[in-house]
Each structure stands twice: as structure tokens, then as C-alpha cells.
Structure 1
Amino acid sequence: MKQGRKVKNTGIDRVFMFAVYALLLTFLAVVLLPLIYILSSSFSSPNAVSSGRVWLWPVDFTIRGYEVVLSDPQILGGFANSLFYTVLGTLVSVTLTIAIAYPLSRKGFYGRGVITSFIVYTMLFAGGIIPTYLVVQSLGLLDTRWAMILPQAIGVWQVIIARAYLRNSIPDSLYEAAELDGAGDLRILWSVVLPLAKPMIAVIALMYAIMQWNSYFDALLYLKSDDLYPLQLVLRNILVLNSPGNGMDAAAGIERRHLADLLKYSLIVVSTAPVLLIYPFVARHFTKGALIGAVKG
């Protein structure tokens, strides 16, 4: 038998691979072209953006949009608030999620099936906006920073992912060996579970961080003070306020509308840049954690 013999592709195989590559390139274009258009528009002049002359390359290159965005104290304050909500909220969410998922993943924990059923029930049947608002109000969290952290601190889907990962990825023999050495549950959690659960922690942290960074509806419901607004709500208000009013001069209204069109794209870039910069550092853990928790039965 000859070594290194190449397998010839038939005509059907070549057609199939051509169709696969064409489909993948189409998906890539659908995802990539809007991003390039947004980035190009953010570096174009207001008139070029409003007249629709921008496509895949900046027209009349300018950084005026970013100058306006980065010089606005409301935007800088909203950026700082979103960063605070995201960092602290992620720490709280990851801590509470592991505190729930760890005992539910242990086979010796009595009643874990019933508790898991109750947790899943809350995902299928939520209380709704008004009951949740009344709970937040009764706890005295309205118009406080905790209103942006505690109501969304625990996600059922994150708990399910963490429970499946801990149950399938850490063998019982490792728990038994730690118990024979005299380690208690807290010691096992700190010295055994957490070091082995870094991919899962990265998944949960990234999921919550993206959700918290893009969240504005909770702020719209619970916050009244402008100095507590997250970035997304600040951007929403700026875009609304940049719409020309009825009593505005026509020329000033047109100029402001053009600037609002430019700001829209600059604000999108500014608000999405932190997530895009963080993702490459956790992508490896994210993929590994998601696959391990899902593939093993």
C-alpha cells in the first residue's frame, strides 16, 4: 500500500465545498459589513453621514464625533457608572452563582433535585415588571446603585451552566480525596473547585458583563438621578435630546440633526469597544467552558 496517497475529490465534493465556502463568506459579509459601515461613519463628516455618502470608507475624515462624545461629562460619568455596575455586578453574580451551583452539583446534597426544579420554574414563569418593581421599592433600592446590581444578580441559565460544569467536569474521587485529607466544603470549594472551574467562571462572568454593560431598561425603571445613569441610558437620552424641537431655527435644527446622525455611530463604537477589547482575552475559556458543560451528559 502506497503511503501519502492523496484522496481525489469528486465533482460533487468540490461543488459541496464551494457551496460551504460561499455560505460562510456570505455570513461573514452579513456580520462584517455593518460593523465596517458603523466604524467608517463614525470617522466621517456629519454632512457625509446624513447624505448617505458613506459606505465602507470614511468620507471627509474627521474625529468630531469622538471629540463631542469624549468631552461630554454626562457620557464620561455614564461610562464610569457602567464600568462600576459591570465590575461589581459581575463579582456579585459569579459569587452567588457558584454558591448556588456548587451544592446542587454534589450528589450527597439532599433535596437538590427539588431545589433545582424551583430554580428552573423561576426562569419559565417570571413575576413580571410591576411585581419586581414593587419588590425593589419595598427594599429601598430605588434610585440607588444596588438597584442595578441585586435584581439581576442571579441568572437561572448561568446557574444551570455552572451546575452542569461542576457535576460533569470534577470527578467524585477528587472530592473524596479532599475529604479524606480533612478538607471541609469551604476548603474544597476554594482549593479544588474554583481552580478547576476557571473556564466556567469565565463563561458566567462574560455573559453577565455583556448583559450588564448593555442594560438600560433597569436604569430606566429604578433610577431617577442623572449621576447614577449607566452609559447606555445616557446615550439614549443624548440621541433623543439631539432631535430638533419645534421651536428651533431651521438651520440650527438641520445642523443638530446632522450632528446627531454622526454621534449615533460614534456612540455605538464607544459603547461596544470595551466588550470587543475584553472578549479576546476570555474567548478561550468561554469556548472551553461552554463545550465541556454541554457535551458531557
Structure 2
Amino acid sequence: MPQSRSERIAGVFIYIILSFITLLVLYPLYFVLIASISAPETVMRGDVWIWPRELSFVGYERLFANSELMRGFLNTLLYTTTGTALNVMMTIAAAYPLSRADFNGRGIFTAIIVFTMFFSGGMIPNYLLVKELGMLDTIWAMIIPSAVSVWNIIIMRTFFQNSIPKEMQEAAFIDGASNMRVLWRIVLPLSGPILAVMVLFYAVGHWNSYFSALIYLSDRSNYPLQLFLREILVQGQMQEMVDISDDSLARSLMDAEAIKYAAVIVTNLPMLLLYPFLQKYFVKGVMIGAIKG
């Protein structure tokens, strides 16, 4: 339909506002990218705004030459993949029974699970529990305490209830299928969008997590990449308060600045690459045509 003049003007203003918001969101990441490949002295002078100045990859060279950072990257990859797999399995195991109308007592179990979302034991009891279970300085300290999210259980349960046709499940039960077979053959193949969302939520949570490592890990060989990045950022803030009078100290500060930007890019790049692969599963049109008649 043809648009009126006022609608066209409103559309132009909407596009301008959205473009401005997009610029505000993307520019910090873009600045970190161009700063990571610019000479550190140009960044510290404030000469880098739109384009990189005096291309330099010293930050990436120093970053990949650091064995601790590479070990931290591998640790984070291990924590993310193992933790996300366990998270998704635990969430499915809790959400599917709670979505079934024939599950006796599901209201009680739901209330108990939701109660833990509002009330927890606190940091000290959690630490003592992890210590008594012998999980300090192990991979399990990064995975088991956050094995499942109540909020994600509720989201997945709601999806199972509203998006998976009950008629298909009933037909499978009439044909003699068990609950596990219905879950594996019918429910999960039709749950691509919610599974993609869960993988993304849990993976981003594990990838960005550093506070749990700060509490439960003391062995640097088990540190995730984010804890090393935190050290770099904190040390950079401390060094900014030091009087730069020695050339070697000034060079170290500039190298630390380059490493900081390079570490931010390396840390965020895997999650940025994950979004395009999961985006197509966000479309709920997967259920179209699932039931005939």
C-alpha cells in the first residue's frame, strides 16, 4: 500500500534512530578491533578513531607467545563445551517431565525448583559445599555448581507445552513408544529453536564466567582465559597511575595496552562466530505442517 507523507517521514526518523543506536552498540567493539591492530603509541595518544593507524600486531604476537594465555584459552574452551553439554542435558531432563500433563506432582516440583531461583545459600555455603565435595581446583568446580538454570528450565518447559503438539505424542504412545523414545524421536527434533537458544545462553555464560574461577580455582594451570584477561585489565589500570619516565617502562605500558585490546578480541571472537550458525534455528516456522488434518 502507498504510504502517506507523514508515514514516510516517520519511517525516516525511525531508521535514523535505529542507525544511531546500532552505531552506539557496534562502535566500541569496532574501536577495540582497530586499536588491537594499531601501533600502541597512536592509541594512547588518541589518534585512533575511525581507521587503524600504523598497523601493528604486537599485541597478538605477545598474546599468542604467552603460554598461560593459550592454556587459559584451552581451559575456557573445555569448560564451555563440557558445561554447555551438561547444562542442556540437565535442562531437558527437568523441563520435559514438568511439561507433561500426566506427570503427578509436577506443580510441587515446579514450586521447589522456582524457590531456588529466589533464595540461595549464599557464596560462603556454596564454597564450603564445593570444598567438602573435593571439587576445588578441578574442572567440576566450574561446571557442577552451575549445571542447570531454573529460568532456562521454565523457558524450555513452556516451549514443550506450547509448541510440541500433544496429538503427535499421544499418537506415538498409542503405537507403543516409551517416554524416552517420544523425547528422542519427536520432541527433540521439533525443538531446534529452543535448543539453539539454550546452547547460546549457556555457552555465553560459561565463556564469560570468571567469578567462579576467582573463588574456586587457585592453580593457575586451571585458570580460564577470562581470569587472565581480568589480570591484564587490572594491571593496566594500575600501571596508568605510574609515572612514565623510563623508556623501558613506557614500552612495557604500550605493549600491555596492545595486549589488552588483542585479548578482548580473542575472547569475544568465538561467541561472535557462534551467532550466525544458530540464528537460523530461531525461526519458529519449524512447526508448520507438523500436523495434517
TM-score by length of 2: 0.91
CA displacement at 1:82 relative to structure 2: 0.4
Q: Distance in 2 between matches of 1:247 and 1:60?
A: 26
Report the CA distance between 1:248 and its aligned residue: 9.6
Whole-angstrom distance in 2 between the partners of 1:25 and 1:238? 33
**Structure 1 residues 58 and 186, CA gap change in structure 2 (3 angstroms):** same
In 1, the alpha carbon distance for the partners of 2:87 and 2:168 equals 26
Structure 1, unaligned runs of 5 or more: 1-5, 293-297
Deviation at 1:287, TM superposition (A): 5.2
Q: Aligned match of 2:104 in 103, 110, 124? A: 110
Q: Is the 2:204–2:271 contact (alpha carbons within 8 Å) kept by the matching residues of 1? A: yes
- Indicate which of 174, 191, 215 corresponds to 2:209: 215
CA deviation string 1:132-154 (max 9, x = no partner): 11211121111111000011110
> Does residue 261 of structure 2 align to residue 271 of structure 1?
no
Q: Identity over the aligned pairs, expressed in percent? A: 45
Q: 2:12 aligns with which of 5, 12, 18?
A: 18
Distance verdict in 2 for CA 1:64–1:94, change over 3 Å: same
Q: Identify which of 37, 40, 47 aligns with 1:53.
A: 47
Give runs of aligned pairs for residues 113-124 of structure 1, distance below 5 A: 113-124=107-118
1:143-162 to structure 2, matched below 5 A, reads: 143-162=137-156
Question: Residues 284 and 231 from structure 1, CA distance in 2 versus in 1: closer, same or farther, beyond 3 angstroms?
Answer: same
**In the alignment, is residue 37 of structure 1 matched against residue 31 of structure 2?**
yes
In 2: Cα distance, 1:104 partner to 1:150 partner: 22
Which residue of structure 2 aligns with residue 197 of structure 1?
191
In structure 2, C-alpha distance between the alignment counterparts of 1:248 and 1:110, rounded to whole Å? 70
In the alignment, the residues of structure 1 paired with residue 283 and residue 227 of structure 2 have an alpha-carbon distance, to the nearest angstrom, of 31
Match of 1:183 in 2: 177
Mean Cα deviation higher: 77-86 or 238-247: 238-247
Tell whether 2:137 aligns with 1:137: no
Alignment pair present for 1:251 and 2:247: yes
Q: 1:281 aligns with which of 277, 280, 293?
A: 277
TM-score in terms of structure 1 length = 0.90
User: SS state of the match for residue 140, structure 1?
Assistant: coil
Between the aligned partners of 2:56 and 2:244, the Cα distance in structure 1 is 26
The residue type equivalent to 1:49 in the other structure is V
